[in-house]
Amino acid sequence: MDTFFNAEYIIRLFLALVLGFSLGLERELTNKYAGLRTHILVCLGACVFTLLSIYAFPTFATGDNVVIHNATGIRDTSRVAAQIVTGIGFIGAGTVLRNGPMVFGLTTAATLWIAASIGMACGSGMFDIAIIATVLSVAVLTLIRIFEKQFLPSSGKQVKRCKITLYINEQDTNIIYDFLTKNVKNMRDFSSKKLLEDPEKVKISSTFDFGNKKVMSEFYKKISNLVPIDSILLQEIND
C-alpha cells in the first residue's frame, strides 16, 4: 500500500523552497518589490506544477498491463512545463516599471523567471541543475553589480534615480518645491501629505535623477540647511 506522503516529492518541494529563498533574499536585501515571499512562491509553485505534469496524469495502463480507470491517455509532460514558462511572464511584467525614458524592474523580472526554471528543475528531480543555477544566479546578481560599479563608471546606467523624503513645517513646502525644481534634473513626482499626529507638519516625497554621488552629497548639504527639517532621507533606487 502506498504511503500518504512521498518522501521524494517532499525533498523536491523543500529544495525548491530553499533555492527560492536564496534568490529572494538578494532581492529583499536590495529593497525590491518582489522579495522573499514572491520568489519562494514562484519557485515552489513551478515545482508543484512540474510534479503534477510528470506524475498526476497516468497513461492507460501500468507496466503490468493493468488498466487504470482514471487514466487520461498518453501523457505529455511538456504541456504543463510550457505553460509555466508562458505564465511566469505575467508576474514578471508586473514588476517592470517605466517612468519616462528609464525602465526599472527588469532584473527582478528576470530573477522571477529563473526562479520558475529552478523550481521546475527541482520538480523533475534534476537537483544538480537547480543548485548550480541558483549559485550562478546569486553570483550574477551580486558580483556583476560590483563589477559594473568598479569597471564601468562611464556607463549610461550611472545616472542615479533617487528618492527624497522630508518631514518639515507645512509653510516651508513651497520653498522645498522651488529648490527641487531648480536643482535637480528630471523630477518625476512631488507629493506633500499632512501628518495626522501633527497637522502643522508635512511629509514631502520626490524622485529625480542625479549624475553621480558627489552631486548627491552636495545636494544633501544644501537642502539640509535650507529650512528647519525634522527628518530627511535621500536614497538611491536601484533596479
Read off the pLDDT band of 1 (50, 70, 90): very low
- pLDDT band at residue 74, thresholds of 50, 70 and 90? low
- Residue 129 pLDDT level (bands cut at 50, 70, 90): very high
Q: What is the rounded CA–CA span in Å between residue 209 and residue 211?
A: 7
Is the pLDDT score of 200 beyond 80? yes
- pLDDT digits over 84-96, tens only? 878 887 777 777 7
User: 13-27, 37-51, 148-162, 211-225: lowest mean pLDDT where?
Assistant: 148-162
As a whole number of angstroms, the distance between CA 173 and CA 185 comes to 19
Would you state the pLDDT for residue 93?
77
Least confident of 51-55, 171-175, 176-180, 199-203: 51-55
Lowest-confidence range among 118-122, 179-183, 207-211?
207-211
> Is the separation of the CB atoms in 22 and 134 below 8 Å?
yes
Q: How high is the pLDDT of residue 217?
A: 74
pLDDT band at 5 (very low <50, low <70, confident <90, very high): confident
Query: What is 159-237's CATH topology?
Result: Alpha-Beta Plaits (3.30.70)
- What number is the average pLDDT over the span 171-175? 90
DSSP 19-63: HHHHHHHHHHHTT-SS-HHHHHHHHHHHHHHHHHHHHSS--SB-T
Would you tell me how many other CB atoms lie within 10 Å of the CB of residue 164?
21
Instruction: Look up the pTM and report it.
Output: 0.59
Q: With 60 as the cut, is the pLDDT of residue 69 above it?
A: no
Domain range list for the chain? 7-151, 159-237
Those residues whose C-beta lies under 8 Å from the C-beta of residue 18, and which sit 6 or more positions away, are: none
Distance between CA atoms of 37 and 24, rounded to whole angstroms?
7
Mean pLDDT of the chain: 79
Query: What is the per-residue pLDDT for 214?
Result: 65
